[in-house]
Amino acid sequence: MFKRIFLTIAITLALSTPALASHCPMDAKAIDAGLENTQLNDMQKSEVMALRDEGMKLHNSGEHRQAEQTLAKAMRMLLEAGKM
């Protein structure tokens, strides 16, 4: 019984990981579009781009949770800049 539950959980996680992994490139595209439509100074732009690049580097190395957090940080910076 325990084996069956564990196997079911393992299969579910294995199948859901690729779906979550594809989220990062969409976030990066949103950041690129946001950079074009938001007024940022050069320092802010370079910081957002550094976060975007770091997020994609993490994504490509398989660190998807950290990649999502890094990309979310860049998106928050864009949102905050747009409110000013």
The matching CATH number, chosen from 1.10.3470, 3.40.50, 1.20.1270, 1.10.10, for 22-83 is 1.20.1270
Strand stretches in the chain, DSSP E: none
Per-residue pLDDT reduced to its tens digit, 33-79: 888 888 888 999 999 999 999 999 999 998 888 998 999 999 988 88
Domain ranges of the chain: 22-83
- If one compares 5 and 40, the residue with the highest pLDDT of the two is 40
Residue 83 has pLDDT above 50, yes or no: yes
Give per-residue burial for 38-71: e unless 16+ CB within 10 Å, then b.
bebeeebbeebeebbebbbebbeeeebeebbebb
